[in-house]
Amino acid sequence: MNVNDYVLINRKILGLVGLYPFNMPKYILCVACMFLIIIPQVVQIYQAWQNLSVVLETSSVLLTIILAVLKSFIWMLKRKTLGPFITFMLEDYWKIVQTNFTRKTEAYATMARKITKGYLFLICNALLFFFTLPLGIMVTDSLNGKETITKHFPFLATYPLSWYQTPMYELVYLSQIFATCTCGLIILGTDTLIATAMFHTCGHFQILQNKILGLDEINLKTERISNRYESFIKQDSKDKIKQEIIRIIKHHQVVLWFYEKMEEQFSPMMFLQTLASSLIICLVGVQVSTTLTYRSKIMEYASYLCMALFQLLLFCFPGDELMNQSFSLNKRIYSIKWYDHSAEIKFIICILMLRNQKPCNLTAAKFYVMHLKSFGSILSTSLSYFMVLRSFNS
């Protein structure tokens, strides 16, 4: 099991935008590219403040780009601690999986890879609709013999009138493509790495459960020996159990340390995501509902809506699985029928039980626990915003 078989896409994308390995000039260039569209869209909102439909359409895209800038900014601020954390995840943390390989751990690593590919597809699909729609409209107008062909950009933004003429029109068109592609890469790289870290931790919890199951089998063998020889229990069996318990606790400590670091590093970014997702889903939902008569537009915003929903689910689903695996480990510990062990072994077992009573769940700055129930509550909040905006827009 080579780690690059599962995280190669994550590594390549983070490298392209300078987020891992950290490359400040490359990162600054990427942010500068995004400001090529941020500034014109802010001007667009300012000038069309009375036109609610224009403001909503512009804001949905602008909010996504600003979210990418803020998340990448937090990422770079934490680079001194985040860099070693990612390196540990891709090296030493992975080696533990390699030495304790199971089908379940591979399933979690494969799931993380599939989610990364699925998210990449949704982002590319949404961007492709936005990039090609204005060109398609211009080609259709030309084929229909229209004398005046109106030029549009992929995203609403305000530019000087002279920029709608060749060659400035082509340059601005490309600037929007570069800006939004850079935004997509940053979002894809950061979000999928967080989800991958959570899925890999789920795999570690599964390994711990398997180790405890193996410990239970050793325990049962010792019990059979005890039933056969009455009070006699082989000393080597007791020592083997003690050594295995100590290995389990050490592994458990590593997993808990990694979980705490995930919470420390990623919690602010997940908080930004939960705040922005409710607004983005609401704004894009309004656009979908108001463009039902325009087939091309509804496909454009429907693809954007799918991406926005998946972006939120990308944190909630792995977070829910992480919490479930933590509870499953706790049940596994309590289900073991411990035989007459020494006081030292019982003390070690009690420590393991007590520490695992606290569930492992990632939060959005301690406000939201990232699981599927939060996904539902955020969608409910978005629906409330949607109904309010629909009433204003009608």
CA nearest to 100, candidates 216, 8, 205, 5: 205
Say how far apart CA 58 and CA 89 lie, in whole Å: 38
The answer to whether the beta carbons of residues 337 and 289 sit under 8 Å apart is: no
Question: Residues in the chain, how many?
Answer: 394
State pLDDT tens for residues 361-378: 888 888 888 888 888 888
Mean pLDDT of 166-192: 94
Percent of the chain with pLDDT over 90: 44
pLDDT at 229: 46
State pLDDT tens for residues 322-356: 999 888 887 777 766 555 555 667 677 777 777 77
pLDDT at 42: 94
**Amino acid occupying residue 84:** P
- Can the peptide bond before residue 160 be classed as cis, meaning omega within 30 degrees of 0? no
State pLDDT tens for residues 228-284: 444 445 565 667 777 888 888 889 889 999 999 999 999 999 999 988 888 888 888
Task: Identify which has the larger pLDDT, 216 or 310.
Answer: 310
Task: Please give the model's pTM, rounded to 2 decimal places.
Answer: 0.90
Q: Does position 159 have pLDDT exceeding 70, yes or no?
A: yes
Longest dimension (CA), the chain: 101
Q: Does position 225 have pLDDT exceeding 80, yes or no?
A: no
Q: Does position 224 have pLDDT exceeding 60, yes or no?
A: no
Residue pointed to by tokens 């940053």: 186
For 180, the domain range is 4-393
Domain count, the chain: 1
Say how far apart CA 122 and CA 171 lie, in whole Å: 26
State pLDDT tens for residues 52-78: 888 888 998 999 999 999 999 999 999
Q: Does position 314 have pLDDT exceeding 60, yes or no?
A: yes
pLDDT at 214: 75
Task: Identify which has the larger pLDDT, 101 or 135.
Answer: 135
Mean pLDDT of 81-89: 94
- Taking residue 281's Cβ as centre, other Cβ atoms within 10 Å add up to 24
pLDDT at 230: 44
pLDDT at 111: 94
Say how far apart CA 45 and CA 38 lie, in whole Å: 11
Q: Which of 90-99, 215-224, 294-303 has the highest mean pLDDT?
A: 90-99
Say how far apart CA 202 and CA 143 lie, in whole Å: 56
Q: Does position 189 have pLDDT exceeding 50, yes or no?
A: yes
